[in-house]
Amino acid sequence: MGSSDRYELARAVLSRIGHAVAIVGASHGAERSCGTGTCMYVSLSPAMIAIAEHTGSRTTRLIRESGEFSVSLLHETQQDLAAAAGKSAPGPDKFATLGIRAAEPPAGLGAPAVDGSLAIVWCRVVQTLPTGDHLLFVGEVVSYLVSDAKARPLLRFGRRYARLGEATSEESPEGYPT
Ligand SMILES: Cc1cc2nc3c(=O)[nH]c(=O)nc-3n(C[C@H](O)[C@H](O)[C@H](O)COP(=O)(O)O)c2cc1C
């Protein structure tokens, strides 16, 4: 921990937490932004999702200003999009700058999402918690879309993108809902 590289531990250990790759979207006024990241569910009923967003990003600011966010779970063919959205981009509308086709939010919501994703959830922020260099946003799912196609998720493990391997059990043998 006495290292001059403040991300050493994150690179060594946190990168071993395999996860689904998502794009988090938010908007306020004329600004739209998005960032690559991940999410976890923190309640099943009502369905709630948490995301950790670093304090300096535009996406974080737009989530704070609007009280909403979208999470687009990417499928394995969307890796280029994950790499592009993982960096800041110029202009007020990152979707336009990167040429991302936006899935328009349902009525009453504003957060843009990524069209053609494996699944999209739209959330209203119900809790915000400072966590070190990030803010944890807990959102209640207020709308969602699930792709009909038998698409496979884009994953991340060990600082690499990856595809899902083979299933090693039947569907939900222990009755858990996810
Ligand atoms: C694989 C990957 C995972 C990332 N995960 C997160 C994350 O969980 N939270 C976060 O704040 N940024 C994360 N980032 C970085 C953001 O995507 C990046 O800061 C982005 O530029 C934010 O967009 P903005 O600056 O337009 O708001 C990740 C980037 C990559 C490539």
Model confidence pLDDT, tens digit, residues 55-66:
999 999 999 999
The model's confidence at residue 1, banded by pLDDT at 50, 70 and 90, is low
Q: Which of 45-49, 71-75, 110-114, 165-169 has the lowest mean pLDDT?
A: 165-169
What pLDDT does residue 171 have? Answer: 85
pTM of the model as a whole: 0.96
The model's confidence at residue 148, banded by pLDDT at 50, 70 and 90, is confident
Among 70, 73, 68, which Cα is nearest to 119's? 73
Q: Mean pLDDT highest for which of 67-76, 140-149, 165-174?
A: 67-76
Has residue 150 got a pLDDT over 90?
A: no
Ligand 1 centre and the CA of 85: distance in Å?
7
Listing from the earlier edge strand, what are the strands of the sheet with 22-28?
31-37, 22-28, 68-73, 119-131, 134-146, 48-54, 40-43
List, as one string, the DSSP characters of 145-178. EE-SS---BEEEETTEEEE-----SSS-TT----
Best residue among 57, 80, 157 to mutate for probing ligand 1, ranked by most atoms within 8 Å of CB: 57
Rounded CA gap, 114 and 128, in Å? 24
Task: Report residue 33 as tokens.
Answer: 């932004």
Reply yes or no on domain 18-158 having CATH 2.30.110.10: yes
Nearest CA to ligand 1 atom 4: 37
Ligand 1 centre and the CA of 144: distance in Å?
22
What pLDDT does residue 2 have? Answer: 53
Pocket of ligand 1 (CB under 6 A): 33, 35-38, 52-54, 57-59, 85-88, 94, 156
Task: Report residue 137 as tokens.
Answer: 């946003």
What end-to-end distance do the CA atoms of the chain give, in Å? 36
Domain ranges of the chain: 18-158
The model's confidence at residue 143, banded by pLDDT at 50, 70 and 90, is very high
Ligand 1 centre and the CA of 83: distance in Å?
9
Task: Report residue 129 as tokens.
Answer: 């918690």
Closest ligand 1 atom, residue 156 Cα: 1
How confident is the prediction for the chain on average, in pLDDT? Answer: 95
